[in-house]
Structure 1
Amino acid sequence: MSAAKPSAMIRYTALRLLIFVGCFFVAGVAVHFGLVPSGLGGSNMVWVILLGLILSAPLSYVLLRKQRDEMSEQIVAGVDRTKARLDANRTREDAVQ
C-alpha cells in the first residue's frame, strides 16, 4: 500500500457511503413531497433510511464494480502475504527442531 494513495477499502467504503447519502436525500425529498408514502406514525425517519438503503444497494453494486474488484485484489494480496509469512515462520521452527 502506498501512503499517497488511499487503500481500496477506504475508497470503496467512502464511495458507498456517498451513494447512500445521496439516495437517503432523494428518498427524503420523495417522502416529503408525497411521491413515496411516508412511514407509519413516528417511523418516518426509519422508513427514509430503509428506502435509502434499498436504493443504494443495487446502485453501489453496479457503479462500484471496479473499486470492489480493486478492494478484493488488495485483500487477496494481504492474505497471500500473511500465508507466506506463516509458512516462512513454520519452516524456520521446523529447521530449529
Structure 2
Amino acid sequence: MLRYTLMRLGIFAGCLVVVWGLVYSGLAPRGLGASNGMWMVLLALLISAPLSFVLLRGERDRASVQVVRKVDRMKANIEANRAQEDAADDTARVQGQAS
C-alpha cells in the first residue's frame, strides 16, 4: 500500500514539474494574481489522476488484494472472539442452572 501511495505521489510530482515548466515558459496560462501556485497544483492533480489510474492499475490491484486479506483476517478474528464469548456465556449459564 505504501508503494502505491509513493508511486502516486511520484506521478503527481512529475506532473507538477511539467505544469510548472509549461506555465513559466508561457505555454500554459498563469493563474490570476497570487493564485498561480494553486492553479499549478490543481492542474497537476487533474493531469496526474487519470495517469495514475491507467499507469498504476497493476499496483492498485496488488494493494487491493492486501487490503482484502487484512479485512478477512480481521473478520476471522472478530468471529473467533465472538465464538469464545458465546462459549463462555453458555458455560456460565449451565453452571448457573446447576447451582
- Same fold at TM > 0.5: yes
Higher helix content, 1 or 2 = 2
TM-score (normalizing by structure 2): 0.88
Identity %: 55
Query: Larger radius of gyration, structure 1 or 2?
Result: 2
Deviation track 1:3-25 (CA, whole Å, cap 9, x = no partner) reads xxxxxx10000000000000000
Shift of 1:29: 0.3
Shift of 1:74: 0.4
Gap runs ≥5 in structure 2: 90-99
Q: Which residue of 1 aligns with 2:43?
A: 51
Which of 13, 26, 29 aligns to 2:18? It is: 26
Gap runs ≥5 in structure 1: 1-8
In the alignment, does 2:56 pair up with 1:61? no
TM-score (normalizing by structure 1): 0.90
CA RMSD between the two structures: 0.5
Partners of 1:61 and 1:54 lie apart in 2 by 12
Partners of 1:40 and 1:91 lie apart in 2 by 63
